[in-house]
Amino acid sequence: MATKLTKPIYREAEVNGVDYIVGLDPETGFTSRKKGSRGKGASTPLRMLIGVVDDKPKESRGGTREEVVNELKSKILGSGIDYKLKVEILDALIDILEVDRLAILEGATHDK
């Protein structure tokens, strides 16, 4: 059983000597901003990243967490984002999957 994204997850990323904060938030989606800035920064709603339009998925994809993350990875790789920031974002997605896997394992251990 997957752990729901109920609160934001943030990571710090350095790109060309500039620090950024990147996050995944259940309400605002994927966000990025310069560290220390008070501005909102750039955000992409989860609906767009996952491909949901009008509350219906574009197509049935199976929908496992890993499949969604792999699709996010391909969209990030194909975007115009700076290479180093892409690497940091991909690392954050890998961290999210690992946390999810650990939560599943912990839940399985408690169920026994």
Is residue 4 domain-resident?
no
Between CA 106 and CA 91 the distance in angstroms is 22
Q: What is the pLDDT of residue 50?
A: 67
Q: Backbone phi, then psi, for 80, in 5-degree steps? A: -90, 15
**Residue 53: how many other CB atoms lie within 10 Å:** 9
Q: What is the pLDDT of residue 60?
A: 45
Is residue 88 domain-resident?
yes
- The range of the structural domain enclosing residue 53 comes to 9-111
For the chain, what is the mean pLDDT?
76
Question: Total domain count for the chain?
Answer: 1
Is residue 94 domain-resident?
yes
Is residue 1 domain-resident?
no
Across 32-56, average pLDDT: 71
Instruction: Work out the pLDDT band at 109, boundaries 50, 70, 90.
Output: low
pLDDT at 51 > cutoff 80: no
pLDDT at 57 > cutoff 60: no
CB 70 within 8 A of CB 2: no
Instruction: Work out the pLDDT band at 34, boundaries 50, 70, 90.
Output: confident
Q: What is the pLDDT of residue 61?
A: 47
